[in-house]
Each structure stands twice: as structure tokens, then as C-alpha cells.
Structure 1
Amino acid sequence: MPVAAPRPCTHPGCGVLVRDGTGRCAKHPAVSWAKKPTAAKRVTGRKLQRLRAELFARNPLCAECQRQGRVTLATQRDHIVPLEEGGQDVEANVQGLCAPCHDVKSAAERARGVRRAWGRYREP
């Protein structure tokens, strides 16, 4: 039976060829994902539905579009300071955004998260 060609370790900066199919060499084992013990508790279910309805009743327009002088209905409940970056799931930290503004903000947050994650990789 044919065996796949060896590939370089996926750890940044490591070029050791891996032959076992895991993608990582013995020096750089893959870290299994686990929720941080300090992670904020997310609101879900009916409580979240009620909070969304209250937010959109209070201010039905997209906060980012309003700052730019546009009028667009908000469709997403967004945390101003993301929970991953230390924000709280409280009324003062939420805003309504339209889908395009939410997508742009989420992409920027995701990029910051990737930079944080890759910033932890240091050769011993």
C-alpha cells in the first residue's frame, strides 16, 4: 500500500519532515484545544433572544453605519469589546450592527486572535 510523502512540520519555522501523518514532529506536538478557565460565560437561548429584541427595540440602526452617516437596520448583536479580549456580556458592552459591518469587525477580531495565538510560538 502506498504511503504519503513526508511533509514539513506545521509548527512555524520548523522544517523537520514528518512521516506519520500527524503534521507535527516529536519536538512540536499539537496542543489540544480547551476552553480557558477565565472565559466569559456566554448568554444563550431565550435570554439571548430577549436581549437581542430589547437592543433592537432601543436602537434599531447599525451603530457603525450611524457613525459613518448611513442609515441601516441592525441585524446582529455585537460585543463592543469582544469577550475573548476581556469584554463583559453586559448591556453597556453591546451594540447593534448590520451584517456587513459585523463581518468586517469579526474579521479584524479574528486576525488579532490569530496574531495572539501565533505570538505564543517561540523556539526554546
Structure 2
Amino acid sequence: MPIAPPRPCTHPGCVALVRDGSGRCAKHPKPAWQKPANATKRITGRRLQAMRADLFTRKPLCEVCEPLGRVRLATIRDHRVPLAEGGADDCGPGSNEQAICDECHDEKSLQEQIRGRMRAAGNGCPPSGR
């Protein structure tokens, strides 16, 4: 059975060789992910289904596409301010929910993912030149 060659630790600036395949040396273990203590609780189950039905009845078209002159059916109940960034999981007029299409949701999710990775790396803003 072949054995993989040792690789440098993935922690920035560390050059220690790692032989166990974990990617990190003993000095720089990767921290386990934990949900923040102040994280917003998600609504689930029948209550969520009723909220989605109510939202799509009130707003059947994508709220992001409409101002751009595109007409697309809303398929996803999304949060304007993500729950991970302190947004509320509420419903009704003036709430944090919005009805959007799959394409707009994918684009918004990508931006949220980039922001989350920047926060995790300890850098509050994206690198210059992007």
C-alpha cells in the first residue's frame, strides 16, 4: 500500500511537515466548528411551511429581479440579513424575509459564503483587487 509523502502544515506561515494526512501539525490543530451562543434559532416544520406559503401568496415574483425589469417566479424564502450575520427569522411586512428565485439565491449565497470565509480568516474585508 503506497504512503503519501509528507506535506507542509496548512496553517499560514508554518512549514512543519505533516505525515498523518490531516493537513495540520500538532501546534496548529484545526478548531472544531461551533454554533455561536447568540445564533438565531431557525423556524422549521409546519410553521415554516405556512410562512413560505404566505410569503409566496403575497409576493409570487422574485424581489431582486423585479427592480431590474426581469419577471421570475420566486421559489425560495430567503433572509435579507443572513441568520449567521444576526438577521431575524420572522415573517410579515417589514420583516427580514424575501421571496427570490434560484439564480438570485445562488448569487447571494456565494457572496455570504465569501464574507463568512473572510470572517473566519480574521479579515473583515475581501482582499484588494477583487
Task: Compute the TM-score of the two structures, normalised by the length of structure 1.
Answer: 0.90
Query: Residues of 2 paired with 1:69 and 1:15: CA distance?
Result: 53
Indicate the larger mover: 76-85 or 21-30. 21-30
1:119 aligns with 2:122: yes
Task: Say which SS state the counterpart of residue 12 (structure 1) adopts.
Answer: coil
Task: Say which SS state the counterpart of residue 78 (structure 1) adopts.
Answer: strand
Q: CA RMSD in A?
A: 1.3
- Residue-pair matches, total: 120
Query: Residues of 2 paired with 1:74 and 1:3: CA distance?
Result: 51
| Percent identity between the two aligned chains | 61
Query: Residues of 1 paired with 2:67 and 2:17: CA distance?
Result: 51
Query: Which residue matches 2:80?
Result: 80
Query: Which residue matches 1:108?
Result: 111
1:42 aligns with 2:42: yes
Q: What does the per-residue CA deviation read over 1:13-58, in whole Å, with 9 as the maximum and x for residues that have no partner?
A: 3222111222111211111112211111001111111100000001
Gaps of 5+ in 1: none
Task: Compute the TM-score of the two structures, normalised by the length of structure 2.
Answer: 0.86
Gaps of 5+ in 2: 124-130
Query: Which residue matches 1:62?
Result: 62
Q: Which has the higher helix share?
A: 1
Task: Say which SS state the counterpart of residue 63 (structure 1) adopts.
Answer: coil
1:23 aligns with 2:23: yes
The 5 Å alignment of 1:94-105 reads 94-105=97-108
Query: Which residue matches 2:128?
Result: none
Task: Say which SS state the counterpart of residue 105 (structure 1) adopts.
Answer: helix
